[in-house]
Amino acid sequence: FRDNPAFLRDGGVMTYLLPPNGRQEARILPSDRICMPRQQRQWQSAGSRRLYANPGAAVVLRYQENGHVTMLSNSPDKSSSGEVFVYGTSVSRPDDTLCDIHNVWNTNGTGGDGRGILLTRSGFDDGKCYGPNFGSPFFHQRQQRFKPDPQQGMNRWCHTPVVIPCDVRAGLYTLYWVWDWSSRMADGERKEEIYTTCIDIAVT
């Protein structure tokens, strides 16, 4: 995502955490929006080109692992790098909430209010990505197996491929990218930690 702000609604800061740090009750509320405030409207920042795609086209979403793969051992309460969910809709709303969409919309479009679908669900770690964490043996193993992209420096970015549904009509199609990195604590309680970003694609 960060490599091309044109794919974002506002080209702004990527980090949007739910529940937010500092909330007295560390849980996600039914009112929590799925998009950060600056991404709740479908507008494009000046100077940034919108991504255009045809129905049925493949789109690859890219992001840096930032140590969540190569230095996972630094987070002992995490059993993995988490999962990525990508939801799609032609009828996005500024007040769309995480609870109304995440783990509700499904692949056949019958979940929740039926406005959208789950396009893909995959691991945050695509099996090839890494960042330049030189103290990590995992980094060196990955780097030997998968060469970095010269345009990405010492990084090899993680990829999440999605396909725009063939029946989508021309217009803006919104992707909700949800990274669920929640933890299971020693007492069995689930500690929620979810990051999201929202992207508009012009379907032609």
pLDDT tens, N- to C-terminus, the chain (204 residues): 323 444 444 444 568 999 999 898 889 999 999 999 988 888 876 777 889 999 999 999 999 999 999 999 888 888 899 999 999 999 999 999 999 999 999 999 999 999 999 999 999 999 999 999 999 999 999 999 998 888 888 899 999 999 999 999 999 999 999 999 998 777 778 889 999 999 999 999
CA–CA dist 4, 33 (Å, integer)? 24
Whose tokens are 């990218």? That residue is: 177
CA–CA dist 157, 66 (Å, integer)? 9
pTM equals 0.89
CA–CA dist 2, 184 (Å, integer)? 29
- Pairing type for strands 194-203 and 17-18 reads antiparallel
Is the CB of residue 183 less than 8 Å from the CB of residue 191?
yes
Among the listed residues 154, 156, 177, 164, the one whose alpha carbon sits nearest the alpha carbon of residue 203: 164
At residue 145, what are phi and psi to the nearest 5 degrees? -85, -35
CA–CA dist 158, 126 (Å, integer)? 6
Is the CB of residue 52 less than 8 Å from the CB of residue 168?
no
Bridge partners of residue 52, in order along the sequence: 202
